[in-house]
Structure 1
Amino acid sequence: MKSPAKDPAAARDMATAVELRVLVGKLRRRLRQQANFGGLPWSQVSVLGHLERDGPATVTTLARAEGMRPQSMGANVSALLEAGLVRGDPDPDDGRQTVLSLTPACHKLIKASRAAREDWLFHAIQTRLAPKEQAQLASTVELLKRLVES
């Protein structure tokens, strides 16, 4: 890898990397603003995301995934159970543990939230970008996919 200080192309790529990191962060924040999770703290929304992506899990597994103590995760899970967004069933392999999964109401909430974010993004693309820019953006998405998959 060439040093950005000695190679103009490497310097350009470094500047692009910095701008892309900042831009992706801003886009994530805007999309979070569009999500409607009924005022849930982001830590609880993150738990719901893990359960949706990875399937049912125990409190310990979720705590490990979030990098927190199981006791702290237990508080998040209790709130989600009380809100009717997750349910707990006995672990078939270890009856001492509870396996958490999303409720149908939570699946509906996630679907609505995702639709709201996609709708906001769709309208932003349609209203803020010219047709040629929309095509450029579509091509750029393909490039971003390659970056993420590498």
Structure 2
Amino acid sequence: MRGKARTPAVASELRVVLGQLVRRLREQAEGADLTRSQSAVLVRLERDGPSTATALARAEGVRPQSMAKIVDVLQDAGLVGGSPDPKDGRKTVLSLTDAAREQFRTGRLAKEDWLTGAIDTTLTAAEVDQLAAATRLLKRLTNTP
């Protein structure tokens, strides 16, 4: 099979391989004892900035009560802090702590170090060039510049 006829098989294999790569990368970072929901909240706060628990619940598609439990765990772990909303003092604006920012930084470095080592020890120089080309194609698939 060649060309477009291979697309479903390539898509299936790519999904499996990328899933395996993501799992391997997750193994490299500390803080892996967080649940996916807890990690998603941290990532959202890092990417989008401070937010209320209600807005986080809406964005993550969970009930406010569930988000409150997630936030409690993250606050107890010292990863999220809260301050009064300047527009409505009855609400709390949540943001990442310095400890969470450091955990993101060191986690990313650990992942990149592992991936760099895996590429260096597994692939030839020509294969590294092929991987770079494939990375450009993956970026196009995700519509990122």
* TM value normalised by structure 1: 0.89
Over the aligned positions, Cα root-mean-square deviation in angstroms equals: 1.6
CA shift for structure 1 position 67? 1.6
Cα distance in 1 between the residues matched to 2:78 and 2:87: 25
Cα distance in 1 between the residues matched to 2:27 and 2:59: 24
One-letter amino acid of the structure 2 residue matched with residue 35 of structure 1: A
- Corresponding residue of 2:35: 41
2:114 paired with 1:129 = no
CA shift for structure 1 position 10? 3.0
Alignment counterpart, residue 16 of structure 2, candidates 19, 22, 39: 22
Alignment counterpart, residue 142 of structure 2, candidates 133, 137, 148: 148
Deviations 1:66-85 (A, max 9, x none): 22111111111011111111
In structure 2, the gaps of 5 or more residues are none
- Corresponding residue of 1:31: 25
- Corresponding residue of 2:104: 110
2:126 paired with 1:139 = no
Cα distance in 1 between the residues matched to 2:134 and 2:2: 22
Bigger RCO (CA 8 Å, 6+ sep): 2
- Corresponding residue of 2:4: 10
- Corresponding residue of 2:78: 84
- How do 1:60-79 and structure 2 match up within 5 A? 60-79=54-73
CA shift for structure 1 position 40? 2.3
CA shift for structure 1 position 104? 0.8
2:52 paired with 1:52 = no
CA shift for structure 1 position 8? 5.9
One-letter amino acid of the structure 1 residue matched with residue 125 of structure 2: P
- Corresponding residue of 1:98: 92
Cα distance in 1 between the residues matched to 2:32 and 2:17: 26
In structure 1, the gaps of 5 or more residues are 1-6
Cα distance in 2 between the residues matched to 1:123 and 1:85: 29
Identity %: 55
Cα distance in 2 between the residues matched to 1:100 and 1:81: 9
Count of residues in correspondence between the two structures: 144
SS for the counterpart of 2:142 is helix
CA shift for structure 1 position 131? 0.8
